[in-house]
Amino acid sequence: MSHELKALLFDVDGTLADTERDGHRVAFNRAFAGAGLDWRWDPETYGKLLAVSGGKERLRYFLELKGSVDKVPPPVDEFIRSLHAAKTRYYLELMKDGRIPVRPGVERLLREALAVGLRLAIVTTTTAENVAALLEPNLGPDCLNWFEVIAAGDVVAAKKPAPDIYFHALDELDLPATACIAIEDSDNGLASSHAAGVKTLVTVNEYTWNQDFLSASLVIDQLGEPGEGFSVLQGDAGQASYVDVSLLKWLFAQ
Ligand code: XBP
Ligand code: MG
């Protein structure tokens, strides 16, 4: 059992930035159009499909719901892989120029954590190239170096809610789960971090605010900034009005 907070483990989509509705969803739709498919995921439909994390896994889930697994050109895995590769190209294109900003408090918290010597890792279901495409325009060309580990995408076989990606990140950091705090936005993310034994702060968004976060240390609507604080949805934030290292250390010690 470790008693000192050593590292912060950040989810990406929905946590660092609201990438789902105006990023991933739009890229999926462009890939469908580009492939001559008449599928279109509106924001509400996409919210339901987010029940499954991972773009390829989400495509398969969609085909299953439609009863269309047998109707796409076989083999289905190859169809999904190539459609998803096109989606990733559209996503990278879309993210150029920092079109989707990081959420309030993200840059401040990352810089503060680095300044006090906390180690940082990314623990995400999306690909490393998508992480770079989101963060570099927002946080500068060197920002990937802020993270000692970028645990991403297909590096593990089972995506969130399975704990595998957290186990992988902990392995790479060579830290026990009890030395870390995770920051997540969704029930699948929380299930993953919790199953890996990592205490978790949840910062919700429009797609996740009504999900079940019983095992979270604290649930808030945003990390917040001085002068523009968070609202607490579940748990106790003490005297804090925005997330900083001292709040994370306090939650860690609970
Ligand atoms: C969120 C996801 C991802 C993205 C799509 O992951 O579920 O699937 O929607 O990414 P996280 P890909 O919140 O863990 O970062 O299409 O690249 O899989
Ligand atoms: Mg997420």
To the nearest 10 degrees (0 to 180), the angle between helices 76-95 and 25-34 is 120
Q: Which ligand is nearest to the CA of 20?
A: 1
pLDDT tens per residue, range 92-102 = 999 987 889 99
- Measured in Å, residue 188 CA sits from the centre of ligand 2 at 8
187 is a catalytic site residue: no
User: pLDDT at position 3, please?
Assistant: 76
H-helix or E-strand spanning residue 34:
helix 25-34
Going residue by residue through the chain (254 aa), what tens digit of pLDDT does each one get? 557 999 999 999 999 999 999 999 999 999 999 999 999 999 999 999 999 999 999 999 999 999 988 888 899 999 999 999 999 999 999 998 788 999 999 999 999 999 999 999 999 999 999 999 999 999 999 999 999 999 998 899 999 999 999 999 999 999 999 999 999 999 999 999 999 999 999 999 999 999 999 999 999 999 999 999 999 999 999 999 999 999 999 999 99
- Which ligand has the minimum distance to the alpha carbon of residue 192? 1
Residue 74 Cα to ligand 2 middle (Å): 31
| Confidence at residue 1, expressed as pLDDT on a 0 to 100 scale | 55
Tell me the Cα Rg of the chain.
Answer: 18
For residue 13, indicate whether it is catalytic: yes
Q: How many CB atoms lie within 10 A of CB 1?
A: 5
Ligand 1 atom nearest the C-alpha of 20 is 9
Element (H, E) at 228: none
Burial of 114 (0-12, 13-18, 19+ CB in 10 A): middle
Ligand 1 contacts (CB < 6 A) are 11-14, 20, 24, 53-55, 124-127, 130, 160, 189
Q: Give pLDDT, residue 246.
A: 97
Cβ(161)–Cβ(53) under 8 Å? yes
Residues 203-224: tens digit of each pLDDT:
999 999 999 999 999 999 999 9
Catalytic residue among 11, 185, 187, 244: 11
**Residue of the CA atom closest to atom 5 of ligand 1:** 55
Yes or no: say if 147 and 122 are a contact pair by the CB < 8 Å rule. yes
